[in-house]
Amino acid sequence: MSKKKITIDGLARMTAEQFAKVDERFNSMDARFDAMDTKFEARFDKLDSTLKTVLDVVLEIPSKKAFNRLENKVESIDARLTSVERKVK
């Protein structure tokens, strides 16, 4: 068995090559993540818009409690108007 000695220059070259390969892999991953970010950003914008529309619709629907309060107020005003009408006659 013969052992091959590596020189400092050879070791430096091998290390530089390996770092370059790792750098290339990170660059390709960055590109993939950027593409995914763009895709998800568009989806989130659409989802946000949809949620705002749903919220606008829901907020326009009066709650049963609010409707009951309004109904009570109308009945109260109606009773007062009837009372005033009787007094006027």
Taking Cα atoms as reference points, which of 20, 4, 22 lies closest to residue 12?
Answer: 20
Query: 30-78: per-residue pLDDT in tens?
Result: 999 998 888 888 888 888 889 988 888 877 777 788 888 889 999 999 9
1 assigned to some structural domain: no
Residue 62 sits at φ, ψ, to 5 deg, of -70, 145
Which amino acid belongs to residue 12? A
3 assigned to some structural domain: no
Mean pLDDT of 7-22: 93
50 assigned to some structural domain: yes
1, pLDDT greater than 70: no
**Token representation of residue 61:** 């629907």
What is the span of the domain harbouring residue 49?
A: 8-88
81 assigned to some structural domain: yes
With 0.85 as the threshold, say if the pTM is over it: no
2 assigned to some structural domain: no
| Number of compact structural domains in the chain | 1
Do residues 70 and 62 lie in contact, with contact meaning Cβ atoms separated by under 8 Å? yes
27 assigned to some structural domain: yes
